Amino acid sequence: MQLPARLQQVRVARTAQKRRLICQAGGKVMLEVSDLQAKVADTDKAILKGVNLTICEGESHAIMGQNGSGKSTLSRVLVGDPQYEVTGGSARFQGQDLFDLEPEERARLGLFLSFQSPIAIPGVSNIDFLRLAYNSRQKALGKPEVEPLQFYGHVMPKLDTLHIDPSWLDRSVNEGFSGGERKRNEVLQLAVLEADLAILDEIDSGLDIDALRDVATAVNGLKRGNTATLMVTHYKRLLNYIHPTHVHVMRAGQIILSGGIEVADVLENEGYEGITNLLKKEPALQTT
């Protein structure tokens, strides 16, 4: 039986991806995850069961999967969330062993995570928080710290992109913010810090269409440089605005299928049952 055209596209894309041994255009590997295994700390509950993933600079990867598949756990393990314990495998970021670094060292190295539910920090203004974080990264890169007036000049274009009023900077971090405002604030942090790898964990959750467009514009602006992105999402809606170079499907703690946007199309049209049927017909496509 011949596969439908969209499933044939997945096969072609996956075959091409298998042949890609190095990053395109001579780019460098930003993140390399090999057989990563992790569990909930102080329990026997395994979540990640052998994740393999390579992200090159400038690439945009999306991870999709059902609840409990391990998508968000992967994000949190990469940034060093103490709720999880690495039990096997490895992860290298910017050439360094990620698990030898404390969470703050990973952040200074250029790893950024946007949380599903950003926390509030009463009494700390956005501008002070942003400048402190920015200067911490500058110091880690061996660059001079910036003074307040100079920093304002760095921040203002980012506010324009996100359609954020400058008065926002004087508000306490996320205090009294709606869910959508908190997401905008995190993307503002991402834009200001100019991270090398941005992990966006369900950044589209709780956003109306206008806010989603603003957030996507800011993230797409980062992609013009060498910033890589890893998006965790349930829905293709986000991918209509932030176009990924790679789409992965997670199931039971593993990435089971990788390809391009056509993988998201199968999910949109056929659901996860469509992915299961595809892998039954074409078992060679499975990545695990």
Confidence of residue 9 (pLDDT cuts 50, 70, 90): low
What's the pLDDT score for residue 40? 96
**51 or 272, higher pLDDT:** 51
Domains of the chain: 5-285 (3.40.50.300)
Q: Are 92 and 32 in contact (CB under 8 A)?
A: yes
What's the pLDDT score for residue 225? 67
What's the pLDDT score for residue 18? 46
pTM reported for the whole predicted model: 0.84
Q: Which of 117, 57, 49 is nearest to 77 (CA)?
A: 49
pLDDT tens, 53-112? 999 998 999 999 999 999 999 999 999 999 999 999 999 999 999 999 999 899 888 899
What's the pLDDT score for residue 27? 73
Q: Sign (positive/negative) of CA torsion 132, 135, 137, 139?
A: negative
Q: Which of 276, 284, 272, 286 is nearest to 67 (CA)?
A: 272
What's the pLDDT score for residue 15? 43
Mean pLDDT, residues 174-180: 81
Across 54-68, 154-168, 221-235, 256-270, least confident range: 221-235
Q: Are 40 and 47 in contact (CB under 8 A)?
A: yes
pLDDT at residue 213 above 50?
Answer: yes
Across 19-28, 130-139, 165-174, least confident range: 19-28
pLDDT at residue 281 above 60?
Answer: yes
Tokens for 207, please give them.
């956003």
